[in-house]
Amino acid sequence: MTIADLLPPPPSLTTVLVTAALGVAAHQMPWPLLALVAATAASLAWSAWIAHRLPAARRDHHHITDLALRSEQDTPAAVNWPTVRAALHARHPSAIIDFRQTCTGESHDAWCQGTASTWAGGDRIAVITCGRASAADVAYTLAHEVAHLTGGRWVATLTAGALFSAAGPLIGFATAAVLGWQAIGAVFYVAYLLYIATFWAIEIACDLTAQRQLGRPAATRHWAGMQRAQRDQPLRQRINATLFLLTEGTHPPDSLRLLAARVVGAR
């Protein structure tokens, strides 16, 4: 069983809302429970197809290989790579782990995926860092990304991906059963809140794991710096970032992450 088989990406917020509408429709059918089973099966099948069959998913797998082959092997000395490798191999003992660095020239290049990122596909994990980011930011972001692939955060990500592939129809069906099909707005609202609560909780949990390793000052400096960088962006980029935040739903705003770093104990 490969990492790609174990970790299909969670369905998008849009997909969850569409499948919630299917759940509402199932409640109005002559055989509602049978229709709910069919809608749930369709949602699961769609998620599996998205994860493993669409060209975008195949491109992601090739993208990991391209990153490993084309980007620089030099990595920041400030990052404790043996510790990162040991943490990843503890959860994925057979994985091939590549450490690479982008943006080794005078500007950000096309391979840059932010301060640090991890890509899992097939039997390979690619760990990518930005050469133009500060060592402190790389260390914090990398600790967050590694938390996604290890320990309880890995289990939470797997569980959320599996549950939300089936949750949309169930949310729509249950809400329609309580409030009636006319309350389609309530269906979408409930689905939206459950979705963002789940994935925001996972993201903040990974933040707190990184904070436990590197200390609260490292976390607060990182998120305060992210907020300053956003305020310095042109208005159009800030509007696009806000729209993405509202429609994608998988990541909390930086202001909330900074608040969590300041007031929540690291776990």
What confidence score (pLDDT) does residue 56 get?
45
**The pLDDT of residue 4:** 44
pLDDT along the chain (267 residues), means of 10: 51 79 86 87 74 49 53 55 82 79 72 74 74 84 87 72 78 83 77 85 90 91 88 82 77 90 74
Distance in angstroms (rounded) separating the CA atoms of residues 65 and 61 = 7
**CA 41 to chain CA centroid, nearest Å:** 24
The answer to whether the CB of 10 falls within 8 A of the CB of 44 is no
pLDDT at 228 (0 to 100): 87
3-class secondary structure, 148: helix
**Enclosing H/E stretch for 125:** strand 124-130
* Predicted pLDDT of residue 1: 46
Instruction: For Cα atoms 43, 201, 149, give the angle at the middle one, nearest 5 degrees.
Output: 75
What's the order of all strands across the beta sheet hosting 124-130? 96-102, 124-130, 116-121
Cβ pair 125, 95 in contact under 8 A: yes
CA distance 93 to 84: 13
Q: Can you give the pLDDT at residue 224?
A: 92
